[in-house]
Amino acid sequence: MIVTRLAEVWVYLAQTPLLWLALTVVAYAAADALHARLRRHPLAHPVLVAAAVLIAVLAVSGTPYPEYFEGAQFVHFLLGPATVALAIPLHRELGRVRARARPLAAALLAGSTTAVVTAIGTAWLLGAPRATLVSLAPKSTTTPVAMGIAEKLGGLPSLTAALVILTGILGGVAGPALLRLAGVRDPAARGFALGVASHGIGTARAFQLGEREGAFSGLAMGLNALATTLLLPAILRFLGL
Amino acid sequence: MIRGFAVLLSFQLAGEALSRALHLPVPGPVIGMALLLLALQLGAARGEGLRAVATGLLSHLSLLFVPAGVGVILHAHLLASQWLPLAVSLVASTAATLAVTGWLAQRRGPGEEREETAP
């Protein structure tokens, strides 16, 4: 009796966006609390944990992704205004940005090129076909830019979308520790590297390190979108792809 | 708060419109960020009203990536079919990019005073 009643409630709730919106926010809040409990252990990165939990819930309940996204799109939508909001911390750091414009420009060009060349090079050595190489190449830029580039140059845009997210999570999880290992201790440089290597998810991680890290990361994310768009076709031609 | 949000959405809209109209290779929100930065520099927009909503959005920026993170399952078969080259490439490339960018970015610009670094 109560089971059929629960099933009715489930059917009703599953049709409204509220269920998946609420579960997305609850899963994130729980993942964030866990992250704090584990003293911000990198492997407990809240995007990784929340997404894994939600993927399991979708699998168990047999919910297709488009149905999930009906609810989750409200959270997803806020990425736009949040990106615009990056101008505010950046406004306060602009003096610092100007003072080191040259090292930052060099870091951007070298970082953007490194991202593309190493992604293609390693996958090529392991025998990946051209479509995969092109799909990998823009993985450090923000999703819409990366998908646009992949499509134009003969990659698979949907594969690129997944690779972009995985790159972001990888940078968010391992980035700060790796930068420490590499001897990069300057807050602005740490933020800038996170933004170039792993776009918005890296920027989200950078804001947890500090507001200066976040500001420089947001700047790097925006600039790398531009740099990769301009550099990637030339790099592919140079590599003969 | 609500005025700040109205400002953010307006700049996003302007960025989106410019990006489309001029076929710019950068997405609308990034153009919106550049436009808002310009407005703040010129004093045409005030930072204080925006700060609350910006801090709210940016302190939990990670949350906003969860729906896209869940979306990775859509491509599980594509990823699984070539997992080795993809995994090696992502790890090696992300690490190399972080190190190269970080090293070059922490070189001091001319005339910049020394500042405290993270412990």
Residues of chain B contacting residue A106, judged by C-beta atoms under 8 Å apart: 104, 107
The string of pLDDT tens digits covering residues A132-154 is 999 999 999 999 889 989 988 99
Q: What is the pLDDT of residue B109?
A: 52
Model confidence at B114: pLDDT above 70: no
Q: What is the pLDDT of residue B66?
A: 94
- Among all chains, which residue has been given the structure tokens 């509220």? A18
Q: How many contacts (CB atoms, under 8 Å) link A and B?
A: 337
Could you tell me how far CA A78 lies from the centroid of its own chain?
A: 14
Model confidence at B113: pLDDT above 80: no
Q: Are A166 and A193 in contact (CB under 8 A)?
A: no
Could you tell me how far CA B79 lies from the centroid of its own chain?
A: 25
**Closest residue in B to A52 (Cα–Cα):** B70
Average pLDDT over residues A209-230: 94
Three-state SS string over chain B comes to: CHHHHHHHHHHHHHHHHHHHHCCCCCCHHHHHHHHHHHHHHCCCCCHHHHHHHHHHHHHCHHHHHHHHHHHHHHHHHHHHHCHHHHHHHHHHHHHHHHHHHHHHHCCCCCCCCCCCCCC
**How far apart are the CA of B21 and the nearest CA of chain A, in angstroms?**
16
pTM of the model: 0.89
Model confidence at B117: pLDDT above 70: no
Q: Which of B54, B73, B85 shows the shortest C-beta gap to A123?
A: B85
Tell me whether B2 touches chain A (CB under 8 Å): no
* Pair of tokens at residue A73: 């799109």
Scanning B8-27 for CB atoms below 8 A from A yields 8-9, 11-12, 15, 25-27
Model confidence at A109: pLDDT above 90: yes
The string of pLDDT tens digits covering residues B28-45 is 998 999 999 999 999 887
Average pLDDT over residues B70-91: 93
Closest C-alpha among B96, B12, B69, B1 to residue A115: B96
Residues of chain A contacting residue B18, judged by C-beta atoms under 8 Å apart: none
Q: What is the pLDDT of residue B84?
A: 95
> What is the ipTM score, two decimals?
0.91
Q: What is the pLDDT of residue B118?
A: 47
**Across the interface, do A185 and B117 touch by the CB < 8 Å criterion?**
yes
Structural domain boundaries in chain A: 2-82, 101-238
Q: Are B102 and A179 in contact (CB under 8 A)?
A: yes
The string of pLDDT tens digits covering residues A170-208 is 999 999 999 999 999 999 999 999 999 999 999 999 999
